[in-house]
Chains A and B, each alone.
Chain A
Amino acid sequence: MNRVVVVGAGPAGMAAARAAAATGVEVVLVDSAQGLGGQYHRRAPESLGGNEIPPIPGVRHLAATTVWALEPVPGGHRLHLRTGPADAPGRQATVLDTAALVLATGAYDRALPFPGWDLPGVFTAGAAQALAKGQKVAVGSRVLLAGTGPFLLPVAESLIGVGARVLGVLEANIPVGGWLRDPLALLAGRAKAAELARYVTMLARHRVPFRPRTTVIAAHGTDRVTEVTTARLTADWRVRPGSERRVPVDAVCVGFGFTPQLELAVAAGCRLAGEFVEVNEAQATSVAGVFAAGEITGIGGADLSEAEGVLAGLAAARLLGGQGETPRRAIAAVRAGRRFAAALDRAHPVRAGWQSWLAEDTLICRCEEVDYGALCRAVRDRDAIGVRSLKLVSRVGLGACQGRTCGRNAADLVGGLDPAGLARRPIAAPVRLGELATTPVHPNERDTS
């Protein structure tokens, strides 16, 4: 119990673990990947020319370890872990109790549905990025990027880096840089401005066109994508009639902002603010002994995540008697980063017009193959307007991903669904039934023996 446990080894989690360890308390950092870094600092394995992030001094790193459940216990929380090859049966089971938990589980790309988005060759921007950085693989040779937000730019760079030809970056909102005109964001965004300028130069050097108010509204092909339809959008993201163009591609990558990975926070009972975890100035959640940092508290980039991680790690350590100086730089960085995040959010909203891209037979839920027509019928004919009833009537969100991909979109289409209800996944990652049936090792007892 007397240890800081950090879940997620991205920028926020690594910073939290480092800050907590610096105070001298015991720190355990849990992540499902083999190496440190998370999605942002993802490295290729050595065999592919990558180099690993060095271990953090004083931190016990549990690699290849999934937290599949979290439950309250007297004085703190118990994490149920599985260590071993992903989705293999018979991974090692342990439980880990902690009075000071830091959740830094991050976020993943939001993909909006459009006709043909279920064809192989349609990826999220994050997939292209992960495969390029982590596996040195290009998802295609003629690739179009579409979505909204500055994250599309580093993805373009990564794709070019692994030899793909990027046919264009389609931004559904106003041109990138709009957020830099926001005076408050400008204060926060000087470093960001330099970063942006570098990307603009990169795109120009590789002759990658950047098209504002444009997106991909359909993908075509029989067994894989061979063409997409792009279109210019109105301010509300409806298609400008006559602006449709067919473009031959072998891959298209989409990203419309990010969805926080909330299941552990919801399992702990943390209050949400909108769709993110609510935290105070010390990154404490509404639940005693649980802190949150990084993109589960809001989308603001790696610098903000790291600064939040420092605060969360220190606050968690202090709870266990750890001593550390007030991290003034991190406090200032969080303040500035949040201004930037708010500006980013204002500049790159998801506009309701995306719903007009859908056809009756466009899949909303990819896992259960529930189309838009079926979702509408569930609401119209059976009044399925609650999270549970909507799922059980239409089967939307009941498949393997448990609504991680379709939940937000279904919520927008139906309206009025509770975000915490959508993120309620008491089994936070799949386990095999036979694994669940076995009794875990309790390292707490081992430690004290």
Chain B
Amino acid sequence: MVVSVAYSDVVVVGAGVVGAACAEALSAAGSTVTVLDRGAPASGTTAAGEGNILVSDKGPGAELELARASRSRWPELLAELREELGPALADVEWEPKGGVVVATSAESAAPLAEFAAAQRAVGVDARQVTPAEAAELEPHLTPRVVTAVHYPEDAQLQPVLAATTLLAAVRHRGGQVRAGVAALGVERGANGAVSGVRTSEGVLPCGAVVNACGPWAGAFAEAAGAPIAVLPRRGMVLVTGPLPKTVWHKVYDADYVGAVTSGEAGVQTSTVIESTGAGTVLIGSSRQLVGLDETMRVEVLRELARKAVALFPVLAGVPVLRAYGGFRPYAPDHLPVIGADPRLPGLWHATGHEGAGIGLAAATGRLIAELVTGRPTHVDAEPFRVDRPGVLL
């Protein structure tokens, strides 16, 4: 293989959806970009994602603002890429289908209503609906619904298609995507700033490096000499056989919100049920703090199945074809880590999105491009800064 020694303005490490979105935005801003991945593009956390673009699961705060920015950016970005790449290559199975959050007990109904009210106060379209209206939105839903909230802004896309579309745009603009090249560390110039990335195929000279390694971002940061506290959390998803259209929205039970924001160890499951373009139904998602252990636990799958059948009794007779697991990167305070590393000029991090990386990718990419090129940011970057408490190690 010919080793390219051409200079890149930016090397993005990690060709998942976040790395791809950063690379796309940077190349759109005029930077020459090289994307590295030690494996195949879009084969890690991105390939284990459900493709959620949610505003519904986030309470008022910085992450919700990033989610809302990303939700409005995705369709705009996809329209631009359709122009640039053509419809086939820009197809990511985008579905602005909306979400329905369901409470099936009085205990969960009150917190759900409260949560939705707080979201409405900051401008989220969160419509409280009656059980009858919920049944109209989702005809197969359990009759045990106490209350529900309809979030028309929730959307879905197919994450691997999304990442590969973004990478296709990078290549189209003259950038490079190099699969099977591992980033081993960074080189520093005389001024102490990043001057290159050390890889399994030699040093790539560059002006900046973006750490978009997802659950492995902590390991790359350490190799670069600037460790951060980003850890993997395990998630599992069940996939049914193909069905006629049975589930119309992203439907989840009201305790989802609790699981996302919890820092407790052990297994938490809460059900998110949605159909895909291919006709299968995805049932996610559990969260398990197990490090990088790939072992599947039947008890986790059973819990997902129980909750799915409770929400959609008709699914009881449907075959489960597969289960897949993936690792989601999280920081101790469960906020994404996006910005410059103060210890090493030229090193940027874009990670820690946990289970929301697909949804947050579009705004994250844009934010990184703005920060790297020194332009004003479209959302407040302060809450995601790298030197906030608990992130720097």
Contact = CB atoms under 8 A, between A and B. Distances in A.
A and B touch in the complex (CB under 8 A): yes
Interface of A: 69, 71-72, 78, 80, 87, 89, 267, 368, 377, 381-390, 392-393, 395, 398-400, 402, 425-427, 430-434, 436-437, 439
B40 A393 contact: no
A382 to B, nearest CB: 4
B179 A385 contact: yes
A71 B306 contact: no
Contacts of B88: 377, 381
Interface stretch (B2-10, B203-211, B313-321, B340-348): B313-321
Q: Which of the listed residues A80, A384, A389 has the most CB atoms from chain B within 10 Å of its own CB?
A: A389
B316 A392 contact: no
B319 A87 contact: yes
Contact of B319 (A267, A392, A431): A431
A419 to B, nearest CB: 15
Contacts of B242: 399
A434 B316 contact: yes
A426 B323 CA distance: 6
B204 to A, nearest CB: 19
Interface stretch (B260-268, B294-302, B360-368, B384-392): B294-302
B164 A427 contact: no
Interface stretch (B41-49, B74-82, B126-134, B185-193): B41-49
Nearest to A69: B298
Contact-residue size bin, chain B (C-beta under 8 Å from the other chain): 35 or more
B53 to A, nearest CB: 17
A389 B319 contact: no
Contacts of B306: 437
Contact of B164 (A69, A384, A439): A384
A433 B161 CA distance: 28
Contacts of A78: 298
Given A437-B316, A439-B302, A389 B43 contact: yes
A433 B296 contact: no
Given A89-B316, A402-B321, A432-B318, A381 B89 contact: yes
Nearest to B308: A433
Contacts of A398: 278, 280, 322
Nearest to B85: A381
Contacts of B159: 392
Contact of B160 (A71, A389, A399): A389
A69 B238 CA distance: 14
Interface string B226-266: 00000000000010111000000000000000000000000
B67 interface: no
B158 A433 contact: no
A444 to B, nearest CB: 15
Contact of A427 (B161, B283, B297, B323): B323
B164 A386 contact: no
A393 B164 contact: yes
B335 interface: no
B234 to A, nearest CB: 13
B309 interface: yes
B241 A71 contact: no
Nearest to B89: A381
Given A383-B167, A386-B43, A436 B278 contact: no
B168 interface: yes
Contacts of A377: 88
Closest 3 CB pairs of A and B: A386-B40, A434-B316, A386-B43
B296 A368 contact: no
B161 A393 contact: yes
Contacts of B89: 381-382
B39 A386 contact: yes
A392 B158 contact: yes
Given A399-B321, A431-B320, 19 more contacts: A69-B301, A368-B278, A383-B164, A384-B164, A385-B40, A385-B41, A386-B179, A388-B40, A389-B40, A392-B159, A392-B160, A402-B321, A425-B322, A426-B323, A430-B319, A432-B319, A433-B305, A434-B309, A437-B316
Given A383-B41, A430-B320, A388 B160 contact: yes
A147 B167 CA distance: 41
Contacts of B356: none
Contacts of A399: 242, 321
A427 B322 contact: yes
A29 B241 CA distance: 29
A390 to B, nearest CB: 8
Nearest to B160: A392
Given A71-B298, A72-B295, A433-B308, A427 B41 contact: no
Nearest to A386: B40
A271 to B, nearest CB: 14
Contacts of B238: 433, 436
B177 interface: yes
5 contacts: A383-B41, A392-B159, A398-B322, A426-B325, A427-B320
Contacts of A433: 238, 240, 283, 305, 308-309, 315-320
A387 B41 CA distance: 11
Given A381-B168, A432-B317, A437 B309 contact: yes
Nearest to B310: A437
A430 B179 CA distance: 34
Contacts of A427: 301, 320-323
A425 B320 CA distance: 12
A380 B164 CA distance: 11
Contact of B168 (A382, A402, A426): A382
Nearest to B40: A386
Given A395-B278, A437-B306, A439-B302, A71 B316 contact: no
Nearest to A367: B242
Nearest to B158: A392
Interface in B153-168: 158-161, 164-165, 167-168
Contacts of A392: 42, 47, 158-161
A427 B237 CA distance: 12
Contacts of A390: 40
Contacts of A402: 321-322
Nearest to A434: B316
B295 A71 contact: yes
Contacts of B308: 433, 437
Contacts of B320: 427, 430-433, 436
A387 B43 contact: yes
Interface string B160-186: 110011011000000001010000000
Contacts of A439: 302
Contacts of A388: 40, 42-43, 47-48, 160
A71 B168 contact: no
B241 A400 contact: yes
B302 A437 contact: yes
Given A383-B167, A388-B47, A436-B320, A430 B241 contact: yes
Contacts of A89: 316-317
A432 B159 CA distance: 26
Nearest to B48: A388
Contacts of B295: 71-72
Contact of B41 (A71, A386, A430): A386
Nearest to B278: A395
Nearest to B37: A386
Contacts of B301: 69, 427, 436
Contacts of A434: 305, 309, 315-317
B322 A436 contact: no
